[in-house]
Structure 1
Amino acid sequence: MTSMQPESSHHSNGKPTMGIRFRQDVTQACKAFLETHGILRDVVVECQEGITRCYMREDWVARFAPNFNTLSLHAHAQNLTQEILWSLFMSPHEFEFENTEALASAVRVRENIARAASKTAVAFRTEAAERPADCWRYDEAAGFVLQPGTCLIHALICATQAATTGKHYDFSCYRASEYVILLGLAQEAQMHHPSLLAAMQKLNEVHAVRSGQFHEVYLHEYGSLEAPLPVHFFVPGDRLWFRNPHEASSDVTGYEGSWVIYMGGGLFSNFWKHDQPFTLSTKCVEIYHWRDGLRTNSHGEAWIDENIVEACVNETLSDPQKMDHVLGVMMRMRDGKGIYAEGGCLDASRECPQQIYVGDCELQLPVIA
């Protein structure tokens, strides 16, 4: 996914815009692809030594996304596909693909994830978990695995989309994001890589890929604390982390931070209230006020009173001075692990799905004995 920065990088506001790199000469196919999506005139297509690079024109970026801010691209895009493509082509991180078919596959996966995230409605539980019993069974060693004969896509939808079952099942935000990403990949595999879907189905019948292993198997991480992404740069379909920079409240399980999906349109997923998605500002305000909801029960255990948090959030949102203060604290790059100093809640990196284009599939499923 990541490659070396070429000598001829174009710059926006003094920072390199990398866009997309194809590992072969696909100039004509790329131009046809761009024309199909109505963005050819705004993209530079270059080919040198058999490598094709594409990136948004500098004047376009300056006008529509200064400082790599992608949060308002939807106001100009005709659809989610176009918004995703614009974000990729103006990226300060270089995304690499074999050809335009691989790019199209990756875009479809991102669309699937963004749309699934917008429909995801679950209950917040960190110490317990629940799944539809007709689709899933729990194994102490393997986690939640599919019931025999259950379709993976159907099971993921039933577990995460309350509109389908009428019930909100218990999830942490981290696990919910895994189900959303897995669903987006499975839906693309169903249409364009059925053998991969069969392998994913078989794997989930015997073992749940979760937590660190999920990250390693299904995702790429781009950006780092050493080379952070611009704070307003997001591509629809990315998973990202908002850190709780308040040390005391971050010790409460489930309040260390928040995993979300960027859905496009300037909105981030809210798995607990899916009809009330977050903006960047409202997400920062919510996490800030976790500190105000910090309480201790009769056993000396810390917990967060969500009713107090909600009241504080509403008060801040209605007071411009309080908003300015809270965003001043939160809209900063987060500190490193274990550090609680001057950092805010914004992360330096994003996570995106591995490519599953049938002609150049990166995704390698683990072998389970």
Structure 2
Amino acid sequence: MNCSTAWLALQTLEGGIELTHTPADQADHLAAQLSSDLGEWGLQSVVQTLNVPLEDGTVALIASLQPEFQQSHMPGHNSLNLYSSLAATAPSTHADEAWALEREIWVALLGSPHRFVFHNLEALKSHVRVRRNMALAARLTALAFKTEAAERPEADWHYEEEPGFILKPGRPLINALIAATQPEATGKLYDFSCYRATEYVILLGIAQELQAHHPALLAELQQLNERHAVRSGQFHEVFLIEYGSMEAPLPARFYVPGDRLWFRNPDERSADVTGYEGSWVMYMGGGLFSNFWKRDTPFTLESKAIEIFHWKDGVYTDAQGELQMDETVVERLVAQTQADPQARARVLDRMLRMRDPKGVYAEGGCIDTTREYPKNVTREHCDLVLPAF
């Protein structure tokens, strides 16, 4: 591709990475620094950059994958095959799990249809590390499956009605989160909802970054968790940024390792069973989504869709008149569908559609239009503001 063609392509690009409000006289140096940093993952030759003047006299440095590389590794913004695709181009000196995951994150961000904006290069590199931390933590997380139960390691946590599960004084947050989510730490599985489990994985990923690069904020986060848990809607507001929308949905096969996302149950009756309205998961990279209840059997996009499809077949009314889910029925029917290519294709055609709007149960599938990722936590440009309790 010649320079003018590449420049025109970049001008019309809506996605990739933007380092915003860069002093004009530093833009070329910043582009060179980004290229140098990408050399650690063997990616310096597959990226194109463009300086876009801004109204305040600074420039936005936009970086994206070169079109040929994008088409080869992320056609149609499909990032689910990146791990295997990139493995063929990896330098032979690198076989480390974290390195390969970081490389996959970089490529997914650079090839994104959504523009990821960062204050500077340090914020971008911090973002990659936090995503890496979360994806690695999700791969290690295993929990007991009781959607209405709540339990934590007693050495680290205690429960109070209004604050929720809070840290015992002097118990380090990172160790406590690992103890609650990774059974190797305690030899025990603890009971969580999938939504709360994703919060712990995200919090752990952020805390690990703060320990290495922003210890003062980690101390504040530690103190907060000794007073009050940040949960549910407030957790989303405090820690996360949502990207995509119903009006501008993200592609169905575009995910960045470290994304939190929701698969919707499109069946109205079974969606009334507690815990089966949908499924909150972490994208762990390699085309795999977290399965906290069966850690060694993570979901693919297809296997998750097929499981949710058969929730409608597992729902029943118990003796007290309450809706319940029979997981053995679901597992049996999932196995049957997976073994029948025609049935599998029919189910996936039904499920791998964008979901209907809230409250609507019509022809939509299980795919959500949005994803979530953590706010910037660097010292110089920290977007994370902790609440006061």
Give the shorter-chain TM-score range. over 0.9
**Contiguous gaps of at least 5 residues in structure 1:** 1-6
Task: Find the counterpart in structure 2 of residue 33 from structure 1.
Answer: 37
Length, aligned pairs only: 359
Q: Is the 8 A contact 1:190 1:197 kept in 2?
A: yes
The superposition leaves residues 82-115 of structure 1 with CA deviations (integer Å, 9 ceiling, x where unpaired) of 1000000011111111222111111010000000
Aligned to 2:49, the other structure's residue is in SS state strand
Give the distance between the partners of 1:170 and 1:329, measured in 2 at CA: 32
Give the distance between the partners of 1:53 and 1:244, measured in 2 at CA: 37
State which of 45, 50, 63 in structure 2 corresponds to 1:46. Answer: 50
Q: Is the 8 A contact 2:10 2:49 kept in 1?
A: no
Aligned to 2:269, the other structure's residue is in SS state helix
TM-score (norm 2): 0.90
Aligned to 1:127, the other structure's residue is in SS state coil
Q: Does 1:60 pair with 2:64?
A: no
State which of 76, 79, 83 in structure 2 corresponds to 1:74. Answer: 83
Give the distance between the partners of 2:15 and 2:316, measured in 1 at CA: 47
State which of 271, 276, 285 in structure 2 corresponds to 1:264. Answer: 285
Give the distance between the partners of 1:105 and 1:67, measured in 2 at CA: 27
Task: Find the counterpart in structure 2 of residue 344 from structure 1.
Answer: 365
Give the distance between the partners of 1:87 and 1:304, measured in 2 at CA: 36
Q: Does 1:22 pair with 2:19?
A: yes
Q: Is the 8 A contact 2:337 2:343 kept in 1?
A: yes
Give the distance between the partners of 1:9 and 1:280, measured in 2 at CA: 31
Task: Find the counterpart in structure 2 of residue 274 from structure 1.
Answer: 295
Q: Deviation of residue 9 (structure 1)?
A: 5.7
Q: Is the 8 A contact 2:10 2:50 kept in 1?
A: no
Aligned 1:127-276 pairs, distance under 5 A: 127-276=148-297
Structure 1 vs Structure 2 CA RMSD:
1.4
State which of 120, 134, 139 in structure 2 corresponds to 1:99. Answer: 120
Give the distance between the partners of 2:222 and 2:48, measured in 1 at CA: 41
**Contiguous gaps of at least 5 residues in structure 2:** 1-6, 54-58, 91-99
Give the distance between the partners of 2:287 and 2:274, measured in 1 at CA: 28
Letter paired with 1:22: L
Letter paired with 1:168: L
Give the distance between the partners of 1:167 and 1:246, measured in 2 at CA: 34
Give the distance between the partners of 1:157 and 1:17, measured in 2 at CA: 38
Q: Is the 8 A contact 1:9 1:18 kept in 2?
A: no
Give the distance between the partners of 1:8 and 1:109, measured in 2 at CA: 33
State which of 294, 315, 328 in structure 2 corresponds to 1:307. Answer: 328
Q: Identity over the aligned pairs, expressed in percent?
A: 54
The superposition leaves residues 193-228 of structure 1 with CA deviations (integer Å, 9 ceiling, x where unpaired) of 000100000000000000000000000000001000
Structure 1 residues 242-251 or 21-30, which shifts more? 21-30
Q: Deviation of residue 36 (structure 1)?
A: 2.7
TM-score (norm 1): 0.95
